[in-house]
Amino acid sequence: MEQLTKLKIDQFKELNLHKRDEEWKQQKIRLAPLGRLRSGHHVIEYLGIGCDYIEQMLKVFFEAENDGNPSFNEDYFNELSSDLVQLINVECNSLLTLANANFKTKDNSLEKTISSEVENRCHHIREVALKEVEILREKNKLTASKPEKIEIDKEIEIPDFDFIKLKELIPILQRDYEEIIKSIKSECWKSAIILCGSAIEGILFDLLKQDESNAMSSKHAQKDKQGNVIPLDEWGLTALINTASSLNLISKGIKGLSHTIKEFRNLIHPTKEIAGEYTLKKEEADSAFAILNILIRDSS
């Protein structure tokens, strides 16, 4: 992301953050007499205001990127997609935190509504933004060429994963990493995304296994229908991410980025893909691979 773009976003936040907060304040004043201050309807309106703010920020983002950027090239666009996904997720995670704080109830009746609504809106915003990146790429007549793709396995080395304590996991991660490179090279985007999710899951499992007692006692630990914590090796990606973050085993940035691909783990089930609205293209695969590499770098 260009420094000019970052500056424009910072300026936007400085000018508009208080406007968003004022809109929320006015909404509370308007809805309180109607008895909807703690209703699902109020939550959705509240999140709508927050998402409008994020979408306006993205408009500023793309206006800045369209201002004759001289450094446009294929590598830049790959980094831009990752930066954009991170920006969106940081803002959406912030919105989730604010909403939960504002609508906290004794029975947590609105927690599920808030979480589901933010996730759905975040997914939509991300999809639209990544399509804008593709439009910007096409406008600048930049597409990945065949020679660049052939070189991928020469440019990227297989990590040794020496930070992994569960040694039998290392050859699995190395095999999957090699398969990810081959999948991207062959434009098998779905395979690349699913394998990235699997590798991230494996790394997070290893991190939590090293501190298993604290992981199992975390409020984010995955539970069964009776409320009992299930064995660590049966946890899903969401529980692994949230627990690792709560124990400070991964950064907030990694948490936000990792949540962007957890939904794609469902794609191993064809019926889930039929039921959902998924975009499986180069940008999604590149973003998933970037997230995996950031996690490897930070863990190392």
On whether both 43 and 80 belong to a single domain, the answer is yes
- Each residue's pLDDT tens digit, 46-86: 888 889 999 998 888 888 777 655 556 666 676 777 778 77
List CB contacts of 109: < 8 A, sequence separation 6 or more.
none
The pTM (predicted TM-score) of the whole model is: 0.50
On whether both 99 and 220 belong to a single domain, the answer is no
- Each residue's pLDDT tens digit, 174-197: 999 999 998 888 888 888 888 888
On whether both 198 and 110 belong to a single domain, the answer is no
Confidence of residue 268 (pLDDT cuts 50, 70, 90): low
Return the SS3 of 261: coil
Give the C-alpha distances (Å, rounded to integers) separating 118 from 3, 61, 162.
29, 21, 37
Cα Rg of the chain (Å, integer): 21
Comparison of pLDDT for 257 and 90, the residue scoring more: 90
Domain boundary among 100, 122, 139: 139
Cβ atoms of residues 281 and 143 within 8 Å: no
* CATH code at position 191: 1.20.120
CA dist 5 and 84 (Å) reads: 11
Give the C-alpha distances (Å, rounded to integers) separating 19 from 23, 24, 49, 95, 128.
6, 9, 10, 15, 24
On whether both 91 and 183 belong to a single domain, the answer is no
On whether both 91 and 192 belong to a single domain, the answer is no
On whether both 56 and 33 belong to a single domain, the answer is yes
Is residue 30 predicted with pLDDT exceeding 50?
Answer: yes
**In whole numbers, what is the pLDDT of the chain averaged over residues?**
78
125-135 mean pLDDT: 81
Domain that holds residue 80: 3-139
In the prediction, which pLDDT does 151 show?
A: 39
